[in-house]
Amino acid sequence: MRVAGLTLGADFIAWLAQTFALVRKEILALVKDPANRTILFAPALMQALLFGYGATYDLTHVPYAVVDQSRSAASTELLARLDGTGVFRREAALASNAQIGDLIDSGKVLLAISIPSDFEHRLTVGDTAPIQIILDGRNSSTAGAAAGQIGAIVADYGRSLGGSPPITVERRAWYNPNLESRWTLMPAMIAALSFLQTLLLSALSVAREREQGTFDQLLVTPLGLMQILIGKAIPSILVGLIQSTIILLIIRFWFEIPMNGSYWLLYLGLVTFTAAGVGIGMSISALSLTMQQAMLYTFLLVMPLMLLSGMLTPVRNMPQILQLITYVNPLRFGIDMVRRIYLEGAVFADVALDFVPMLVVAAITLPLAAWLFRNRLA
C-alpha cells in the first residue's frame, strides 16, 4: 500500500512538473514579446484612469440661461441659491424667451429658466408662483438629473419662505453616501476591464499555436489534454488577476473609494470569475482555426456580454427576456460580486449565489475546451 501511494505521489509530481514546463513556456512567450508587454498592462491602467474620470453620471457643470422678467429680490435670491451649488453656471441672461432656442440648439446651455414678472408679487400674496424651465433632452439622463436638482433647490427655497410641507424625507444612502456614480462604476471595472483582455488572451492561446503550426508539436508530446488546458489557462488567469489588481489599486488609492469587504473573498471571487472567462476564451480558441477568427469571435461575444452585464445600466431595467439571458453571463455576476464585496462589505453568504453561475460556466467551458483541442480537426 505504501509503495503504491509513493508511486502515485511521484507520478503526480511528474505530472505537475510537466504542466509547470508548459506554464513557464506560456509565460515566457507572453512576456518576451515587447508589444505584448505593454498591451497586457498599459491599457488596464489607462482605461481605469480615463473611465474613472470620464464615466460619470454626476452633474458637475450645468450651463444655463435665465430670462428673469421679475428682477426682484426673490428671483435674485433663488438664482443665487442655484449658482451657489457650484454646479449650475449662468451663461447668459436673456431679455425674452424667444432667445432661448438658439442657445439650447447649439448646446451652449443645457437649460433655461424663465421667471415671470409677477413672481415676487404672487409669492407675497400667497399665490402659487410658477417658474418655467426648458431642458435640452438630447441626453435625457442629464436633463432629468438637472431638473431634479433644480426642483430640490426650488423646494428648499420655498420652504425657507415659510409654509413648509408637513412631511420631510430624510435620505440616507448606504455604501455610497453622496451617491457618486463613480463609486458604482469603478468597482465594476475591476471585473469588466480585465474580462476583455483575459478572454482575448486565452482565445488567442491555442489559435496562435494552430496558426503558427506549433500546436501539433505540442500534441505529440505526452502532455495530456488536462495539462495543456491548465498550462494555457494559468497564464491567462494570472494576467487577468494582475489587471484586476492594477484597477483595484487605482480605485482604492487614486480615487479613494473605500473598500468595505474582505480582500480574500474578493480574490476568491475574481479567480472564479476569471476562470469562467478563460474557459469561454479557450473554447473560442479551440474552435478557431486562425488568430483572426479567434479575435473576431471573442469580440462578437464580448460586446453583448458587456452590454448585458449591468455595468452601465442596471439589469433590472432590461426586458424580461434579456434578463433571462444574463444568467449565463459570468460578467454580470462578476460585477455584482465585486460591487457587493467592495462597496457593501458583503460576506461569503451574501455573494454565494453569484459564485454559482460563474462556477457553472467554468465547469462547462473548461472541459469543453479540452475536448475541443483534440476533436476539432486541424
Nearer to another protein, 105 or 363 (CB): 105
| 320 touches another protein (CB under 8 A) | no
| DSSP 8-state assignment for residue 58 | S
Size of the site for another protein (CB under 8 A): 131
CB 342 within 8 A of CB 261: yes
Binding another protein (rule: CB under 8 A), the pick from 2, 32, 73, 86 is 32
Sites for another protein among residues 231-270 (CB under 8 A): none
Smallest separation (angstroms) from another protein to the CB of 304: 5
Q: CA 58, CA 182: separation in Å to the nearest integer?
A: 8
Q: CA 68, CA 378: separation in Å to the nearest integer?
A: 76
Nearer to another protein, 217 or 363 (CB): 217
Smallest separation (angstroms) from another protein to the CB of 80: 15
| 359 touches another protein (CB under 8 A) | no
Smallest separation (angstroms) from another protein to the CB of 163: 5
Smallest separation (angstroms) from another protein to the CB of 146: 10
| DSSP 8-state assignment for residue 346 | -
Q: Which residues contact 272 (CB under 8 A, 6 or more apart)?
A: 355, 358, 359, 362
| 230 touches another protein (CB under 8 A) | no
Backbone torsions φ then ψ of 56, nearest 5 degrees: -145, 140
Q: CA 364, CA 278: separation in Å to the nearest integer?
A: 12
| DSSP 8-state assignment for residue 250 | I
Nearer to another protein, 245 or 344 (CB): 344
| 50 touches another protein (CB under 8 A) | yes
How many beta carbons lie within 10 A of that of residue 53, not counting itself? Answer: 10
Binding another protein (rule: CB under 8 A), the pick from 8, 37, 53, 84 is 53
Nearer to another protein, 318 or 364 (CB): 318
Smallest separation (angstroms) from another protein to the CB of 368: 18
Rg (CA), the chain: 28
| 350 touches another protein (CB under 8 A) | yes
Q: CA 157, CA 78: separation in Å to the nearest integer?
A: 7
How far, CA to CA in Å, does 32 sit from each of 26, 86, 232, 313? Answer: 10, 51, 16, 39
Nearer to another protein, 185 or 362 (CB): 185
Sites for another protein among residues 181-220 (CB under 8 A): 181, 183-184, 196, 200, 204, 212-214, 216-220
| 343 touches another protein (CB under 8 A) | yes
Q: CA 332, CA 343: separation in Å to the nearest integer?
A: 16
DSSP H or E segment with residue 313: none
Binding another protein (rule: CB under 8 A), the pick from 59, 242, 328, 368 is 59
Print the binding letters for residues 105-134 with another protein: x by CB under 8 A, - otherwise: xxx--x------------x--xxxxxxxxx
| 21 touches another protein (CB under 8 A) | yes
Binding another protein (rule: CB under 8 A), the pick from 76, 77, 118, 175 is 175
Q: What are residue 312's DSSP bridge partners? A: none
| 3-class state of residue 65 by DSSP | strand
